[in-house]
């Protein structure tokens, strides 16, 4: 059961931005609602005003140009998975899209909402905060049930893992995210959009409370070979345990450069410099792939001991 | 004396066929109303304010601000200041308001001051030498779980006292569940000792130690000894329809309740005491229930609270249905059970010795022990069990209480023994069937059939041999045993002069097909179509029928319906005999007619026959048990065998079940289709608890972390493989009467799947659920890894 709130449905970006407060907590953007509504029911977020953006036509549509594909934030995951051009030119992204959740969720979940969904950390979802502490201020995750928590980038207070499986594929392709706010708009490489919060008042991404995500732009990937791989315990209706997205620029069988993104291992989608360096200049074989994999987790610091 | 016996094969038109559920159209179309769906005129919404701490004392409760909120109609303090809370989520204050948001707003402004007490929510292995003899008072479930001879259980009850009030209603209920009289008697006389920090005793309580034969000598003489660790974590019942009810007082002293319950006839007696109203003035109604699994027998705090709220609000209906998190946190947990086992055998596979040190938790009382070794009565045994008393919430009976855990531990240990003996476990099981008790011949037959359906001999390979890349395949098996005798049941059957037939019975259909089997038995006996039976169940105003637990419903309702239908039929025969001019015993009901045996042309249609009743309908009552109307139409004791084939990714630790086979006996089958569905459902639930389900507690905060459907994983459609179900029917089975099936098929899946995983990856994964992290850890610890 959620608390009462005001509901507004603007039809332009500008109106929407006006309706948002400058500080987090009072207002929230509502897209497909598959995440936000659950957060409200669990009383993890309790906005006083919901700004529904689904009536904003400017946020829909897909445009393709020379610089790549521009995807409006309101496209549903299902619409994207059905898009011919996307399937042809960005097969790793298409793979990631069809694996998300379930048909029902993909039908309503939007790309913008997917990239801004909140972490699935069970302490966070139970109301212990994004950097979970008990009443005495004790860090709950380190000594608690952390089997699904970060093994990389976990030296600060943030121990959750970044939840979007689409983000890893997009980052491998070098996507950028466009954001609009009262000071106009800006464009950020998607991997810089995510950041590891150090205090309770920060979010896990670079967005102000009165900004909205408008579009995702993926550069042309003609010369790129890419793949997306997920480990899932359950076949459907679930998040993966770990994700890897790889995009390679090749010269014959030799790798010119690599972008390797690991998902569900760190508070942000984790680009592995170690693995990327290892692959650059080498020929792909089972052996190099295995070594790249090992390099990717070489510096991992799992918080958990072996369990029984 | 009429012959009540079940018709033989040649005379069955419906019994034993595949008959669709009578209530499936209502269910698939959404017309079926569950308690959760009921909206009464003027209904108020109740909310329960729950304690956020796992162990605390209530210091003060201040509801004054809540009282002032417009729309709040009643407030009831469930646990007064001074009470101790033993688990997070326990009920403290209940509020009724005109709608849910108002009730929630009011709940937010109630001020409760707690004194936090140290909590303990682990059920990890007890450290050595800490266990003390158990002294804490026993709950009902503790008593059921004591795996001791009757006299010893009675002695324990007298010594430790009971944590519940042993009212006449409670005692009657225990008798209905066939608790031996010595124990009921001990409970009636035992001191009432509510569970408090003072009475509960040590965190680790030695519940039982038992020795049989000469285990030391047998171990010295053993040719092969295998040791291992096995067990199951706590899981929750996770009923899709949560617990709850709607309570209203149409008159000052008359309570009417819609309740999600496994026993409509048994609730009144339990509510009478706390509400101080005669049980005769309480009516309980339920049309459909969305799952109980053993967690909906009793009257819970929230039911009583809803009744109090309604009374305070002048009798207006008050609805309290638990939210999902409360459902998972407080409304049902299956006790955990773990054991270190040593099992020994001769070279030829004859099992000689069993030693186990087991532990587990059933919540604040600690709980009882599981029956080890399961089924195989090994000649030399030594067993010790420690109950871990903690603050994770109370355990409740879960489908075949203690058996799934016992099967996982026993089959796991024997499977490791088979590997040590270089034996196919199927051969080891066969070799030791002589000590497998009453149903050993059934097991022998079933193991043969299951092996064929699984193609066991073609597929089976020694441990860790069946690999393709990172994928490892394996086979596993388990056997199980259950009682399932029908409980006490009364059935009223009426034949009206216009030919219509109605049946009233205070039973309930847990979704298992109870409505369908009653209709099939009546239709078969009266020779009329199932659709001609107008059946009403689910109301305490109907003749009482037992609680649906212990797989006791199908035997009960089939028997009472059969006796009622035979007696009603015979009244009809006596009238029709006069018309057709034959003695009544020359008549039979077939195909919508009442006709003369051997002279089918001399007949009346069913309608014509019934018109001979005159203007008054006839109503007769059938009963079970009924020794003056033999034979016994129900029976007890069923055996089953299950096999699983799995595929494990040894890089990721993910387990997929590829195929399951269930071979089951349950005496005479009334409806083969609902019986098969029952097995299929059990296999699905089994896959779910084998791979996914676990109540995960946070040690620091004492809270359950996965009390919602995103983190409390259940198997989905895509996780379910090919399922093959085979029933033992015909000679040797049919004549045993109708026996229950609700629980037996859910006992073995966990054990079959975990032994299959061991066969696939070459090492046992100690505990269920078999999650990727546990599988990888087991692989890492594998000798030579
Ligand atoms: C059972 C289940 C399984 C799932 N499995 C996966 C999975 O495997 N992989 C995966 O990636 N996801 C998974 N998800 C998550 C799902 O993809 C997201 O819930 C969904 O994409 C969110 O989109 P939405 O439009 O519904 O967002 P909302 O719920 O409407 O919003 C989510 C958040 O984003 C903010 N927001 C939304 N749009 C914008 C915008 N344009 N600008 C700024 N802020 C915005 C909202 O304020 C809110 O905080 C799963 C979800 C469920 C329920």
What tens digit of pLDDT does each residue of B285-303 get?
999 999 999 999 999 999 9
- A88 shares contact with chain B (CB less than 8 Å): no
The pLDDT tens digits for A228-255 are 999 999 988 889 999 999 999 999 889 9
The pLDDT tens digits for B14-59 are 999 999 999 999 999 999 999 999 999 999 999 999 999 999 999 9
Closest chain B residue by Cα to residue A125: B705
Cβ-contact B503, B518 below 8 angstroms: yes
* Residues 240 through 269 of chain A touching chain B, CB cutoff 8 Å: 241
- B708 shares contact with chain A (CB less than 8 Å): yes
Question: Cα–Cα distance between A66 and A221 in angstroms, integer?
Answer: 11
**Could you give the percent of chain B with pLDDT greater than 70?**
100
Query: Residue B170: what pLDDT?
Result: 86
- B377 shares contact with chain A (CB less than 8 Å): no
Question: Do B442 and B299 lie in a common domain?
Answer: no
Query: Residue A305: what pLDDT?
Result: 61
CA distances to A172, A250, A256, A274, A286 from A281, in Å: 18, 9, 6, 13, 15
Nearest CA-CA distance, residue A70 and chain B, Å: 32
Closest chain B residue by Cα to residue A138: B700
Domain that holds residue B589: 9-15+485-624
Question: Do B586 and B722 lie in a common domain?
Answer: no
Query: Residue B292: what pLDDT?
Result: 97
Residue B590 sits in a domain whose CATH number is 3.30.365.10
Query: Residue B136: what pLDDT?
Result: 84
Question: Is the CB of residue A116 below 6 angstroms from any atom belonging to ligand 1?
Answer: yes
Question: Cα–Cα distance between B481 and A103 in angstroms, integer?
Answer: 41
pLDDT value at B163 more than 60: yes
Residue B580 lies in a domain: yes
Question: Cα–Cα distance between A127 and A43 in angstroms, integer?
Answer: 7
Question: Do B612 and B689 lie in a common domain?
Answer: no
In this structure, the residue with its CA closest to atom 21 of ligand 1 is A114
Average pLDDT, integer, range A87-101: 96
> Alpha carbon B45 to chain centroid distance?
30
The C-alpha angle with vertex B642 and arms to B639 and B643, in degrees rounded to 5, equals 155
Query: Residue A308: what pLDDT?
Result: 43
Mean pLDDT of chain B: 95
Residue B210 lies in a domain: no
Cβ-contact A70, A24 below 8 angstroms: no
User: What's the token pair of residue B189?
Assistant: 């006389």
Average pLDDT, integer, range B452-457: 98
Cα–ligand 1 centroid distance for B263 (angstroms): 42
The pLDDT tens digits for A6-41 are 999 999 999 999 999 999 999 999 999 999 999 999
Closest chain A residue by Cα to residue B778: A308
pLDDT value at A204 more than 80: yes
Residue B377 lies in a domain: no
Question: Do B42 and B67 lie in a common domain?
Answer: yes
Residue B696 lies in a domain: yes
Q: Are A306 and B710 inside 8 Å of each other by CB?
A: no
In this structure, the residue with its CA closest to atom 36 of ligand 1 is A113
Average pLDDT, integer, range A221-234: 95
Nearest CA-CA distance, residue B125 and chain A, Å: 10
Closest CA to A271 of A254, A246, A249, A290: A246
- B652 shares contact with chain A (CB less than 8 Å): yes
Asked which of B275, B308, B330 is the last residue of a domain, the reply is: B330
The radius of gyration of chain B from alpha carbons, rounded to an integer in Å, stands at 27
In this structure, the residue with its CA closest to atom 5 of ligand 1 is A101
Question: Cα–Cα distance between B732 and B749 in angstroms, integer?
Answer: 26
Question: Do B602 and B721 lie in a common domain?
Answer: no
Query: Residue A307: what pLDDT?
Result: 46
Phi then psi for A165, rounded to 5 degrees?
A: -90, -15
The pLDDT tens digits for B558-579 are 999 999 999 999 999 999 999 9
The pLDDT tens digits for B180-191 are 999 999 999 999
Cβ-contact B490, B505 below 8 angstroms: yes
Neighbouring-strand partners of residue B151: none
From the list B104, B699, B718, which residue is nearest A236 (CB)? Answer: B718
Residue B212 lies in a domain: no
Question: Do B618 and B640 lie in a common domain?
Answer: no
Q: DSSP label at B612?
A: T
Cβ-based contacts of A237 with chain B (< 8 Å): 716
Residue B762 lies in a domain: yes
* Residue B348 CB contacts under 8 Å (≥ 6 apart), including other chains: B431
Query: Residue B278: what pLDDT?
Result: 96
Nearest CA-CA distance, residue A240 and chain B, Å: 11
In this structure, the residue with its CA closest to atom 1 of ligand 1 is A237
Q: Are B718 and A238 inside 8 Å of each other by CB?
A: no
Cβ-based contacts of A1 with chain B (< 8 Å): 100-101, 104, 323
Q: Are A235 and B718 inside 8 Å of each other by CB?
A: yes
Q: Are A238 and B713 inside 8 Å of each other by CB?
A: yes
**Ligand 1 atom closest to the CA of A99, numbered from 1:** 8
Query: Residue B194: what pLDDT?
Result: 86
Question: Cα–Cα distance between B685 and B11 in angstroms, integer?
Answer: 36
Question: Do B675 and B774 lie in a common domain?
Answer: yes
Average pLDDT, integer, range B535-543: 98
pLDDT value at B784 more than 80: no
pLDDT value at A264 more than 70: yes
pLDDT value at A284 more than 50: yes
Query: Residue B367: what pLDDT?
Result: 79
Asked which of B330, B360, B389 is the last residue of a domain, the reply is: B330
User: What's the token pair of residue B197?
Assistant: 């920090």
Q: Are A143 and B699 inside 8 Å of each other by CB?
A: yes
The two most distant CA atoms of chain A are separated, in Å, by 60
Instruction: Lowest mean pLDDT of A266-270, B156-160, B276-280, B486-490, name the range.
Output: B156-160
**3-state SS string over chain A?**
CCCCCEEECCCCHHHHHHHCCCCCCCEEEECCCCCHHHHHHCCCCCCCEEEECCCCHHHCCEEEECCEEEEECCCEHHHHHHCHHHHHHCHHHHHHHHHCCCHHHHHHCEHHHHHHCCCCCHHHHHHHCCCCECCCCCECCCCCCCCCCCCCCCCCCCCCCCCCHHHHHHHHCCCEEEEEECCEEEEEEHHHHECCCCCCCCCCECCCCCCEEEEEEEECCCCEEEEEEEECCCCCCCCCCEEEEEEEEEECCEEEEEEEEEECCCCCCEECHHHHHHHCCCECCHHHHHHHHHHHCCCCCCCCCCCC
- B470 shares contact with chain A (CB less than 8 Å): no
Domains of chain B: total: 4
CA distances to A136, B144, B160, B719 from B153, in Å: 44, 9, 10, 42
**Ligand 1 atom closest to the CA of A214, numbered from 1:** 41
- Residue of A40, A237, A297, A304 to mutate for B, most B C-beta atoms under 10 A: A237
pTM value > 0.80: yes
Question: Do B429 and B466 lie in a common domain?
Answer: yes
* Residues 150 through 179 of chain A touching chain B, CB cutoff 8 Å: none
In which residue are the tokens 């531990």 written?
Answer: B409
Q: Are A233 and B691 inside 8 Å of each other by CB?
A: yes
Query: Residue A67: what pLDDT?
Result: 83
Residues A105-130 as b or e (16 or more Cβ within 10 Å = b): bbeebbbbbbbbbbbbbbbbbbebeb
CA distances to B301, B350, B652 from B270, in Å: 12, 50, 50
Nearest CA-CA distance, residue B711 and chain A, Å: 8
Cβ-based contacts of B717 with chain A (< 8 Å): 236
Question: Do B661 and B601 lie in a common domain?
Answer: no
User: What's the token pair of residue B111?
Assistant: 């001020």
Average pLDDT, integer, range B742-758: 98
Asked which of B624, B654, B684 is the last residue of a domain, the reply is: B624
Q: Are A144 and B698 inside 8 Å of each other by CB?
A: yes
Q: Are B780 and A306 inside 8 Å of each other by CB?
A: yes
The pLDDT tens digits for A107-120 are 999 999 999 999 99
**Ligand 1 atom closest to the CA of A45, numbered from 1:** 49
pLDDT band at A2 (very low <50, low <70, confident <90, very high): confident
From the list B323, B700, B708, which residue is nearest A144 (CB)? Answer: B700
Question: Is the CB of residue A76 below 6 angstroms from any atom belonging to ligand 1?
Answer: no
- B654 shares contact with chain A (CB less than 8 Å): yes
Query: Residue B687: what pLDDT?
Result: 98
Cα–ligand 1 centroid distance for A80 (angstroms): 15
CA distances to B272, B277, B283 from B253, in Å: 11, 7, 12
Residue B213 lies in a domain: no
Question: Is the CB of residue A173 below 6 angstroms from any atom belonging to ligand 1?
Answer: no
Query: Residue B144: what pLDDT?
Result: 82
Question: Cα–Cα distance between A221 and A247 in angstroms, integer?
Answer: 9
Average pLDDT, integer, range B659-664: 98
Q: DSSP label at B40?
A: -
From the list A4, A134, A145, which residue is nearest B696 (CB)? Answer: A145
Identify which of A56, A77, A92, A114 to mutate to test ligand 1's pocket (most ligand atoms within 8 A of the CB). Answer: A114
Helix runs in B595-702, H state only: 606-611, 672-691
Q: What is the ipTM of this complex?
A: 0.95
Question: Do B552 and B440 lie in a common domain?
Answer: no
Instruction: Lowest mean pLDDT of B362-376, B464-478, B529-543, name the range.
Output: B362-376
Cβ-contact B87, B392 below 8 angstroms: yes
Cβ-contact A139, A157 below 8 angstroms: yes
DSSP structure string for A200-213: TT--SBS--TT-EE
pLDDT value at A306 more than 50: no
The pLDDT tens digits for B420-439 are 999 999 999 999 999 999 99
The C-alpha angle with vertex B188 and arms to B185 and B192, in degrees rounded to 5, equals 140
Closest chain B residue by Cα to residue A237: B716
Question: Cα–Cα distance between B331 and B354 in angstroms, integer?
Answer: 35
Q: Are B101 and A1 inside 8 Å of each other by CB?
A: yes
- B109 shares contact with chain A (CB less than 8 Å): no
Residue B167 lies in a domain: yes
From the list B701, B773, B781, which residue is nearest A140 (CB)? Answer: B701
From the list B652, B701, B718, which residue is nearest A134 (CB)? Answer: B701
Question: Do B666 and B521 lie in a common domain?
Answer: no
Nearest CA-CA distance, residue A180 and chain B, Å: 32
Question: Do B446 and B507 lie in a common domain?
Answer: no
The pLDDT tens digits for B64-94 are 999 999 999 999 999 999 999 999 999 999 9
Cβ-based contacts of A123 with chain B (< 8 Å): 698, 705
Query: Residue A189: what pLDDT?
Result: 98
User: What's the token pair of residue B366?
Assistant: 């600690």
Average pLDDT, integer, range A185-211: 96
- B766 shares contact with chain A (CB less than 8 Å): yes
């Amino acid at each position: 059961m959620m608390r009462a709130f005001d509901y507004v449905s603007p039809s332009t970006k500008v109106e929407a931005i006006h309706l948002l407060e400058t500080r987090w907590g009072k207002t929230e953007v509502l897209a497909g609602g598959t995440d936000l509504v659950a957060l409200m029911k669990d009383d993890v977020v309790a906005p006083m005003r919901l700004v529904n953006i689904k009536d904003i036509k400017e946020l829909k549509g897909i445009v393709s140009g020379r610089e790549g594909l521009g995807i409006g934030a309101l496209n549903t995951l299902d619409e994207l998975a059905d898009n011919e051009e996307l399937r042809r030119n960005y097969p790793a992204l298409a793979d990631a899209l069809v694996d998300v959740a379930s048909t029902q969720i993909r039908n309503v979940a939007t790309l913008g909402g997917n990239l801004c969904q909140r972490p699935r950390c069970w302490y966070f979802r139970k109301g212990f905060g994004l950097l979970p502490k008990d009443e005495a201020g004790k860090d709950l995750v380190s000594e608690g049930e952390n089997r699904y928590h970060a093994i990389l980038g976990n030296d600060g207070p943030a121990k959750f893992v970044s939840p979007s499986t689409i983000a890893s594929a997009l980052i491998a392709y070098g996507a950028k995210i466009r954001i609009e706010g009262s000071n106009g708009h800006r464009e950020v490489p998607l991997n810089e959009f995510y950041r590891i919060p150090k205090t309770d008042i920060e979010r896990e991404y670079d967005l102000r409370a009165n900004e909205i995500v408008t579009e995702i732009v993926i550069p042309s990937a003609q010369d790129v070979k890419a793949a997306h791989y997920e480990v899932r315990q359950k076949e459907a209706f679930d998040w993966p345990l770990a994700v890897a997205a790889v995009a390679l620029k090749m010269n014959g069988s030799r790798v010119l450069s690599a972008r390797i993104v690991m998902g569900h291992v760190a508070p942000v989608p984790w680009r592995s410099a170690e693995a990327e360096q290892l692959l650059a200049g080498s020929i792909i074989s089972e052996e190099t792939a295995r070594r790249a994999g090992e390099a990717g987790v070489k510096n991992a610091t799992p918080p958990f001991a072996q369990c029984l | 004396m009429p012959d009540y016996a079940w018709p033989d094969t040649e005379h069955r038109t419906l019994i034993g066929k595949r008959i669709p559920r009578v209530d499936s159209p209502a269910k698939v179309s959404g017309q079926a109303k569950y308690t959760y769906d009921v909206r009464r005129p003027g209904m108020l919404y109740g909310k329960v304010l729950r304690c956020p701490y796992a162990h605390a004392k209530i210091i003060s409760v201040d509801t004054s601000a809540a009282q002032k909120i417009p729309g709040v109609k009643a407030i009831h303090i469930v646990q007064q200041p001074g009470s101790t809370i033993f688990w997070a989520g326990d009920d403290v204050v209940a509020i009724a308001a005109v709608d849910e948001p108002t009730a929630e707003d009011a709940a937010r402004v109630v001020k409760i001051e707690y004194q936090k007490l140290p909590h303990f929510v682990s059920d990890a292995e007890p450290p050595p030498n800490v266990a003390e003899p158990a002294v804490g008072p026993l709950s009902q479930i503790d008593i059921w779980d004591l795996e001791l001879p009757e006299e010893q259980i009675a002695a324990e009850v007298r010594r430790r006292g009971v944590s519940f009030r042993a009212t006449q209603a409670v005692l009657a209920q225990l008798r209905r569940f066939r608790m031996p009289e010595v124990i009921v008697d001990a409970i009636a006389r035992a001191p009432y000792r509510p569970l408090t920090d003072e009475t509960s005793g040590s965190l680790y309580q030695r519940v039982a130690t038992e020795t049989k034969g000469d285990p030391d000598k047998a171990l010295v003489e053993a040719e092969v000894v295998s040791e291992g660790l096995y067990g199951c974590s706590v899981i929750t019942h996770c009923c899709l329809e949560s617990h709850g009810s709607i309570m209203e007082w149409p008159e000052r002293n008359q309570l009417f309740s819609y309740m999600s319950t496994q026993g409509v006839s048994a609730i009144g007696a339990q509510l009478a005491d706390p509400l101080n109203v005669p049980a005769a003035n309480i009516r309980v109604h339920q049309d459909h229930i969305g799952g109980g699994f053993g967690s909906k027998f009793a009257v819970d705090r929230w039911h009583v609270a809803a009744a109090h709220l309604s009374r305070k609000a002048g009798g207006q209906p008050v609805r309290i249905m638990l939210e999902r998190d409360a459902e998972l946190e407080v409304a049902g947990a299956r006790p955990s059970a773990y054991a270190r086992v040593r099992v020994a055998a001769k070279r030829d596979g004859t099992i000689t010795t069993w030693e186990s040190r087991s532990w587990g938790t059933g919540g604040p009382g600690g709980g009882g022990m599981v029956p080890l070794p399961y089924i195989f009565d090994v000649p030399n045994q030594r067993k010790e069990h420690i109950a871990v008393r903690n603050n994770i919430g109370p355990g409740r009976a879960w489908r075949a209480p203690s058996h799934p855990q016992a099967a996982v531990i026993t089959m796991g240990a024997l499977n490791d023994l088979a590997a040590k003996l270089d034996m196919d476990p199927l051969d080891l099981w066969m070799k030791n069937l002589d000590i497998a008790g009453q149903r050993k011949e059934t097991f022998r037959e079933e193991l043969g059939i299951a092996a064929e359906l699984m193609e066991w001999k073609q597929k089976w390979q020694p441990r860790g041999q069946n690999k393709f890349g990172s994928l490892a395949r394996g086979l596993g098996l388990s056997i199980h045993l259950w009682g399932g005798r029908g409980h006490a049941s009364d059935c009223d059957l009426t034949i009206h002069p216009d030919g219509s037939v109605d049946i009233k019975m205070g039973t309930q259909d847990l979704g298992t097909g109870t409505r369908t089997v009653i209709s099939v038995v009546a239709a078969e006996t009266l020779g009329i179509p199932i659709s001609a039976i107008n059946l009403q169940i689910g109301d305490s105003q109907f003749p009482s029928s037992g609680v649906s637990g212990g797989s006791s419903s199908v035997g009960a309702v089939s028997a009472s319906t059969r006796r009622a239908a035979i007696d009603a039929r015979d009244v009809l025969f006596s009238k029709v005999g006069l018309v057709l001019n034959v003695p009544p015993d020359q008549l039979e009901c077939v195909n919508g007619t009442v006709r003369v045996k051997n002279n089918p042309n001399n007949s009346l249609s069913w309608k014509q026959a019934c018109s001979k009743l005159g203007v008054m309908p006839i109503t007769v009552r059938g009963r079970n048990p009924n020794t003056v109307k033999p034979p016994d139409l129900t029976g007890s004791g069923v055996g089953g065998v299950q096999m699983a084939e799995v595929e494990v990714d040894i890089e990721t630790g993910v387990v997929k079940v590829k195929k399951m086979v269930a071979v089951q006996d349950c005496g005479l089958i009334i409806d083969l289709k609902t019986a098969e569905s029952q097995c299929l459902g059990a296999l699905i639930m089994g896959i779910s608890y084998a791979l996914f389900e676990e109540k995960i507690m946070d040690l620091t905060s004492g809270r359950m972390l996965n009390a919602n459907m995103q983190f409390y994983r259940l198997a989905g459609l895509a996780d379910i493989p090919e399922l093959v179900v085979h029933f033992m029917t015909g000679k040797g089975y049919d004549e045993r009467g109708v026996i229950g099936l609700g629980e037996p098929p859910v006992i073995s899946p966990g054990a079959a799947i975990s032994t299959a995983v061991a066969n696939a990856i070459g090492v046992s994964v100690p505990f269920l659920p078999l999650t990727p992290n546990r599988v990888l850890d087991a692989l890492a610890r594998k000798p030579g890894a």
